[in-house]
Amino acid sequence: MLGTMMDYPLTINHILWRLERLFPRKPVVTQRLEEGQATRSSYGEVAARVHRLASALSRAGIRPGDRVATFAWNTQTHLECYFAIPCMGAVMHTLNIRLFPAQLEYIVNHAEDKAVFLDRSLVPAFEPLIGKVPTVQLVVLMNEGPEPSAAFREAFPQVVDYEEFLRSGDEHFAWPRIDERQAAAMCYTSGTTGNPKGVVYTHRSTVLHSLVAALPDSMGLSERDVVMYAVPMFHANAWGIPYAAALVGASQVFPNRYLDAERLVNLIEREGVTVSAGVPTIWIPILDLLEKTGRKLPTLKRVICGGSAAPPALIAGLAQHGIQLIHAWGMTETSPLGSLCRMRSWLDDLPDDQKLAVRSTQGTIVPLVECRIVDLESGQELPWDGKSVGELQVRGPYITGTYYNDPAASEKFMDGWLRTGDVATIDPDGYIRLVDRTKDLVKSGGEWISSVEVENHLMAHPKVLEAAVIGLPHPRWQERPVAAVVPRPEHKDDITAEELREFLAQRVAKWWLPDEFVFVPEVPKTSVGKFDKKVLREQLAQVAQRWAQS
Ligand code: ADP
């Protein structure tokens, strides 16, 4: 027997409807080039512009299902693209602005993007694609920056200014009826091995993800919040926050391209930001700045931090400033919120150090998603005992079930589960502790060493700002760990490998101690701000050569 409920589609158009009808007065603020200057708008204005944009796209020949790319920083106009493109039936394809030209060329051609919304300041990064992306018919130039050259304008059939493009559209656009399973947005994973892989979100997956992201025990978003994400809008749809914040009517503050600690702190202070989000390498320098200057951020209550493991020292440090760091795990493939760390009521009486240990886990799986861990060799499912280590696998309505046009996709799936490539334990309360990425585990003498755990301990040392641990080939042990350490500037001349080794020896097994500590001015980062261990392995290759010769 079927139920009597309406078969009403879950679409992003509904989020747009709420934003327009319920929250038109709520502010939308974008940081401008000049420090202290901002463009101020509202959801009401954004919604009106979204109508015009959708209509203009339709007049320009964009049809349902067409891919429309963005190549842009975090701004109001990017938010307008987030709504207009999927709500008129096209597919928003956020391009990672930090990729190499060859990767970008592959991605634009693979997705067959028909149009690109391009920030003026990013034209130089897009120029190498001239003549190599034949599907691109329309380039719309957004935001501040120098005008592109005549050669650039001639390289594409149509190049137009964003505001002029908006004027070509109607104030009221008749939204098409959209099937909730239709593609809404797509995002390519950076693909550390092989070519990047395309993940395509549906309207339905986006709405479900937004609801879950906003829940009190998730990001806990409310109409009363002022949200500023320091996650690029090309990184897994800024973790879904633009839609989740709009759904509940929270104001949005856009940092634009200014992601350094000083400017972010200024913006949080000026705009009264209450919730923010970003990878650990965004928060480490912010904590450092707060500590050095004694500045306070009284409005900021919560930061969602993920993308790579949040060091316990960072969690404890921010807590001292009244800022709760909520550790989250996810992947482009999981929309991306997969798990999130909230303290369960029955753990309230734990001593502080054990609470910090819980807060440092990647938390529990989010509603609507199921998880399991599977033995790396036998493929057997493992118990949730907090000890058994296996590959984390997930399934649910906003987990990708395949990759876009990719025949090699099947190896990433197993009996209807997505293989995350992450290695984890799960404890009886469901807290997931990520041990490592499969490819980053250090394999020493037939045993595993968690690079993440060693890094976390190192980053708790008072003289250490950042630390990344990698395994390098070793003639006797297969691999041995090496630590790249960035000292705090005031300790760059008095930090020693001996003291770090001693500090670690009290915290990890002896054979986990890195064979070498290399002091570096910075750890190389990936396009989304994670430690780039591939590049680090290349940079430290001479250590392995030395071992091979000794
Ligand atoms: P990329 O491969 O470009 O990093 P994603 O952003 O999709 O692409 O990265 C997903 C991966 O990031 C996860 O599989 C996991 O390895 C890592 N990750 C995400 N969040 C965390 C976290 N909180 N702790 C440790 N690793 C994390």
Domains annotated for the chain, with CATH where assigned, are 440-549 (3.30.300.30)
For residue 337, which of 465, 486, 231, 483 has the smallest C-alpha distance? Answer: 231
Question: What is the C-alpha separation between 407 and 109, in angstroms, rounded?
Answer: 17
Q: Ligand 1: which of 103, 403, 422, 452 to mutate, most ligand atoms within 8 Å of CB? A: 422
**CA 420–ligand 1 middle distance (angstroms):** 9
Look up 189 and say whether it is catalytic: yes
Reduce the secondary structure of 425-460 to three states and give it as a string. Answer: EECCCCCEEEEEECCCCEEECCEEECHHHHHHHHCC
Report how far apart the first and last C-alpha atoms of the chain are (Å, whole number): 74
- Give 540's pLDDT tier (boundaries 50, 70, 90): very high
Give me the pLDDT at residue 482, please.
96
Q: Catalytic annotation on 333?
A: yes
CB-based burial, 100-137: b 16+ in 10 Å, e otherwise: eeebbebbbebbebbbbbbbbbbbebbeebeeebeebb
Residue with CA at minimum distance from ligand 1 atom 19: 307
- d(Cα 389, Cα 396) in Å, to the nearest integer? 22
Catalytic site residue from 448, 463, 479, 516 = 448
Q: How much is the average pLDDT of 324-349? A: 98
Average pLDDT of span 504-517:
94
pLDDT tens digit sequence for 177-226? 999 999 999 999 875 557 889 999 999 999 999 999 999 999 999 999 99
Average pLDDT, integer, range 394-419: 93
Distance CA 253, CA 271 (A): 8
At residue 432, the pLDDT reads 98
In this prediction, residue 191 carries a pLDDT of 59
Dihedral-angle region of residue 493 (phi above 0 means left; psi in -120 to 50 means alpha; beta otherwise): alpha
Give Cβ neighbours of residue 93 (< 8 Å, ≥ 6 apart).
67, 68, 69, 70, 111, 113, 185, 186, 187
Q: How far is the CA of 146 from the centre of ligand 1 (A)?
A: 35
The whole-number average pLDDT for the span 433-462 is 91
pLDDT in the model for residue 449: 93
Q: Which residues contact 57 (CB under 8 A, 6 or more apart)?
A: 68, 84, 85, 88, 90, 115, 169
Number of H helices and number of E strands within the chain?
18, 26
Query: In 186-214, which positions are buried (b, 16+ CB within 10 angstroms) versus exposed (e)?
Result: bbbbbeeeeebbbbbbbbbbbbbbbbbbb
DSSP state of 153: H
The reply to whether 135 belongs to the active site is no
Alpha helices in 459-496 (DSSP H): none
Pocket test for ligand 1, best of 189, 331, 534 (most atoms within 8 A of CB): 331
User: Are 229 and 73 a contacting pair, CB within 8 Å?
Assistant: no
CA of 155 relative to ligand 1 center, distance in Å: 37
From the number of C-beta atoms within 10 Å of its C-beta (0-12, 13-18, 19+), residue 295 rates as middle
Range 65-70 average pLDDT: 98
C-alpha–C-alpha distance, residues 232 and 492, integer Å = 31
Would you call 320 exposed, middle or buried from its count of C-beta atoms within 10 A (0-12, 13-18, 19+)?
Answer: exposed
Alpha helices in 336-406 (DSSP H): 352-359
Instruction: Give the residue-averaged pLDDT of 321-350.
Output: 98
Both tokens of 132, joined, read 């190599």
Pocket (CB within 6 angstroms of ligand 1): 189-190, 192, 236, 306-309, 327-332, 362, 420-422, 434, 437, 528, 530
Q: What pLDDT does residue 390 have?
A: 96
Residue 55 binned pLDDT confidence (cut-offs 50, 70, 90): very high
Q: Could you tell me which of 215, 465, 421 has the C-alpha nearest to residue 329?
A: 421
Higher confidence at residue 45 or residue 408?
A: 45
- Write down the mean pLDDT value for the chain: 95
Mean pLDDT score, 371-377:
93
- Per residue in 274-296, pLDDT (tens digit) is 999 999 999 999 999 999 999 99
Give the Å distance between the CA of 150 and the centre of ligand 1: 41
Tell me, what amino acid is at 277?
A
pLDDT of 438 higher than 90: no
Q: How far apart are CA 210 and CA 328, in angstroms?
A: 15
Q: Which of 132, 301, 412, 443 is labelled catalytic?
A: 443
What gap in Å lies between CA 67 and CA 89, rounded to an integer?
10
In the predicted structure, residue 28 carries a pLDDT above the cut 70: yes
Tokens of residue 155, six digits: 């390289």
Compute, in angstroms, the gap from residue 113 CA to the centroid of ligand 1: 26
Q: Looking at ligand 1, which residue's alpha carbon is closest to its atom 13?
A: 331
Alpha helices in 305-387 (DSSP H): 312-320, 352-359
pLDDT in tens, 251-268: 999 999 999 999 999 999
Res 89: pLDDT: 98
Catalytic (active site) residue 299: no
pLDDT of residue 526: 87
DSSP secondary structure, 117-129, as one string: EEEGGGHHHHGGG
pLDDT digit string (tens) for 98-109?
888 999 999 999
Phi-psi region of 256 (alpha: psi -120 to 50; beta: other; left: phi over 0): left
- Least confident range from 129-143, 175-189, 227-241, 438-452: namely 438-452
Looking at residue 258, its pLDDT comes to 95
Which helix or strand (DSSP H or E) is residue 364 part of?
strand 364-365
- Contacts with 13 (C-beta within 8 Å, 6 or more apart), sequence order: 87, 175, 178, 203
